Every structure is written in C-alpha cells, then in structure tokens.
Amino acid sequence: MPLFLSTREAGFEAAFTALLGAKREEAQEVDDAVAAIIADVRARGDAALIELTARFDRLQLTPATLALSPEEINAACAAVVSEDRRALETAAERIRAYHVRQVPEDARWTDPEGATLGWRWGPVASAGLYVPGGSASYPSSVLMNAIPAQVAGVERLAICAPMPEGRINPLVVLAARLSGIETIWRIGGAQAIAALAYGTETIAAVDKITGPGNAWVAAAKRRVFGRVGIDMIAGPSEILVIGDGTGEPDWIALDLLSQAEHDESAQAILITTSAAEGQAVAAAVERQLPGLVRRAIAGESWRRHGALIVARDLAEAAALSDRIAPEHLELCVEDPEALLPRIRHAGAVFLGHWTPEAIGDYVGGPNHVLPTARSARFSSGLSVLDFMKRTTIARMTPAALAAIGPAAERLARAEGLQAHGASVRTRLDRLNRS
C-alpha cells in the first residue's frame, strides 16, 4: 500500500523526512560494475562494445553493423503507419516551436570607462543523445533531445539506442530522421556512454551527452562528466499532484499511474487539502491498475513509493511540494494561477484539471528531460542552452586600461601573483611615457 500521511498527525514530520530521504535505486554495486565497463571500452574499443552488446542485449554485431544502415533506416521509417507519423510530426513541430524561443542573444556594450564588454553564444561541436530501449523505448525522447541540439546549431549529432535482440523501433528511427539525425548506434547502457565519451575505432567521441536512462546509464554519465559535458543525472520518474477537492479522482489516479508505469522505482504522490479526495483517488488507482498492460510495474511503484498526503491548506501543500522539488508537478486545483507563485521548485508545472502531465511527455512543447531526485531545487530541464556555450568578450582602450588597470595590479599583488600584476603594469608604464 502507498504511504498515507496527514500534516495534522503528530509523527508527520518524521515520516515526511523519511519519505524525502528514501533511496529508490541502489547505486554502489551498479557504480562498481559501470566503472569496469567504462575501463573495458576505453581499453578495447569496438571489441568491448561488441562483446557487451552480445551479453546485455543478446545482439551480435560487427564494427560495420554498430550503426543502422541507410537501408535499415529507410525500411524502419516506411514501417510507421500514417497516423503515428502525423502524431510524431505534430510533436516535432510543437517541440521545435517552443525551443526556438530559447535561443539566446549575443550582447556588446561600452561601459563608462570605455571598455567594450559582452558575450557571444555558440553551439557545442558534437553531441551524443541517449535513448532508452529497455523495458520501454521512447521516440519522444529522441525529439526532446535532438531538436534542442539542432536548434542550437550542433554540427554533429548521433543517437545511441539499445535494440535488444535486434529489435528496431520504427518510431525511434523516424523521430531521428525528423530531427535531422541519420547516425543511430544500436548500443546502449554504460558501454554506449563510454563510447560517446572516449570514442572507439568506429564511434567518434562527442563533446556533450544528454538523455535519460536507467541506473547504469546514470552512473556512467556521472563517471564521464568532466571528459564530456552531460545534461543531468536522471533518476526514476516522479509526479506530484496538488489537489483541493475539485478534481476528478479517476483523472488524478491515471495521472499518478502515468509515471508509476515507467519504472518500479518511479514515484507518484498526491498532496490534497481534502481527505475525501485522497481516499477517492486511492480507490481509483486500485480500480485502474488491473487494466494497465504495465500493471505489475505500476503496481510495484505505487505500493513501494507512492504517497497520499493530506495538508491543512494549499499554502502548506505548496511548501511540502517545494521540499520534494518534483520532476513533474500538476496543480489540479480550482485556481492554479493563484497557486503557481507559491511554487519555487519543480522541473515542470502543469496547470489545471485539463493539463495532464502526459501532454508534456509528447506534444506540449516544453522538454520532458527534467531534473529528478529533488534536483529541481538547483537545476532545470533540458533546453537549447544545454547545447550552447557562452564566451565572454572584453576589449580595453588605453583610457579604459588607465582607469581600471591599477586596481587589477593591486589585487594581483595582494594575491601574490607577480606576473599578473606586471602584465598590467608594463602597459600602464607605456601609457605614462606617452
């Protein structure tokens, strides 16, 4: 059964703190195994990738077949039925339109001392995009990773997508094509992250790796960070719904289950000001579960990690939500706009009864690659900016250097960095002789 809590209960704070601190994935044994995999790929390149893919994905490859061929890509795209193609095209159009608005502007100005300052933005040169392919395969993740990269102007993009036993998901391949990507490596797991970070004889290393994955992928991204950039360390999916008694219990139940069905380690939480709503939603979850294809996964997630919390009022509900800092937050209340200013920490917010989180997973427009495990307290979802770098620009005139140079020289001396100060002083001396 999920956890039932009320803020009016004497033991609430201890129980809620335990909920916040609960580990939903064990890491150490995974991390040790991942370290060995990365070392193997670095040492043996393609040979290690081929062996690991045979072991984990039961797929026999050669260096020549690590990537899908043009013929395989064409065949997979042709296999997509027209209704699915149109849905994917709709999603791609909406995601692109949203992300185009995120492109930052360069800037230059001259300050009162006459120094020209500013910055310019430019894309990373290459990026590797990871697409999960284990218990479920997500063409939507292709769009969410590839389109921001393409909008940013990344020149070289490649996808890694595991294909257990050689199964190709036509929608994943079509999503790649709609995003302008033709290089699809059929490898996954920690070995794919290692190949993208360090390169092999066949796979060229990249500058940035993005995309969600399981605990093995997360551990690998953590280990290669610094060699390459990463978007975030993504954990199991999360949803938190805030209710005020005005929602449809069946709708809220399905919203909770929409994330629970991702993974047994996913978490679904309802915070409501109405005990009756909490009870009705709990009953609706039990009614809806048997009809789900992934009922075993969703049921395990709900029983192990689900929670129903009754709060005194919406202000308290918002405060509790901020402590959780959920990946997805639905405000299923009568006036979501009034509640929104109280929310500080959430990866994505969905306003009102008619905005299910699932819209955000596919066609809403905003990115669905979002911070998990309370990291929304300090990070954001994937965006165009994740594929861009900001370079600062400065130009001194003689007058500007004369105005601010002495302060720089003084600070350099205070820090004991003689050459720093001298590099400024030699120019100031030239000015003084002029």
328 is catalytic: yes
For the record, the structure tokens of 333 come out as: 């209340």
Q: Which of 238, 261, 277, 327 is catalytic?
A: 327
C-alpha 400/C-alpha 415 separation (Å) is 23
Tokens of 128: 């590797």
Q: For residues 148, 372, 310 and 7, what is the CA-based torsion angle, rounded to 10 degrees?
A: -130
Return the sign of the alpha-carbon dihedral for residues 400, 405, 408, 410. negative
Q: Which two tokens stand for residue 367?
A: 């990115």
What CA–CA distance (Å, rounded) separates 266 from 301? 6
Catalytic site includes residue 327: yes
What does the DSSP assignment read for 88-122? HHHHHHHHHHHHHTT----EEEE-TTS-EEEEEEE
Q: Which residues pair with 329 in a beta bridge?
A: 240, 349
Among residues 99, 328, 353, 368, which one is catalytic? 328
Helix (H, G, I), strand (E, B) or coil at 157: strand
| Cβ(109)–Cβ(120) below 8 Å | no
Q: Which residues are catalytic?
A: 327-328
